Structure 1
Amino acid sequence: MTLRKALADAVQRATSRAVTQEGAGWCLASVTAVYADGTVDINTGRGPIQKVRRLRAYSPVVGDVVKADFNADGNWLIAGALAP
């Protein structure tokens, strides 16, 4: 591998990582724990996330598949569960 190719690959990896980390979006996740303070733990394709806030109208149970929204600041929100 040439130095130019190695540098181009490194720049592409760094750019991809930055876009993924700093972008807002959503994903599907499964609920792994439910707390009385209005938060849940979830498992996403990115890994486990602890103490995620949920909407008040939604009462999750462990095992629910949920839509999780996230923003560039690292904040997460559970909007509700998918229908079984």
Structure 2
Amino acid sequence: MTLAKSLVDAVQRAAQRAVEQQGAAWFLAKVTAVNSNGTVDISTARGPVAGVRRLKSYSAPAVNDVVKVSRNADGNWIVDGALA
């Protein structure tokens, strides 16, 4: 691989990471722990996320629930609710 090709590849990877980090998105996740402070720990395809707040409508979280989660551009997460 040439130096120019390596540089182009590195720039493309950096740009892709920047777009992914700044974009809002939603994911499916699995609840791995229910915390007493109104948060849950989840496991996503991108890895684990601890201490995620949940909407009041998701009032009875349980370990192994499959949930829809949203992440905003600032990197904040919220659990929208469990899937039926």
**Same fold, TM exceeding 0.5?**
yes
In the other structure, the counterpart of 1:76 is 77
| Structure-2 residue corresponding to 1:38 | 38
Normalized against structure 2, the TM-score is what? 0.93
Q: Which runs of 5+ in 2 are unaligned?
A: none
Contact map agreement 1:38 1:56 (CA 8 A) in 2: no
Aligned to 2:9: 9
- Give the stretch that moved more between structures: 61-70 or 34-43: 34-43
User: Which residue in the other structure is 2:61 paired with?
Assistant: 60
Q: RMSD of aligned C-alpha atoms?
A: 0.8
State the TM-score, normalized to the length of structure 1.
0.93
Runs ≥4 in structure 1, deviation > 6 angstroms? none
Residue 3 of structure 1, CA deviation: 1.7
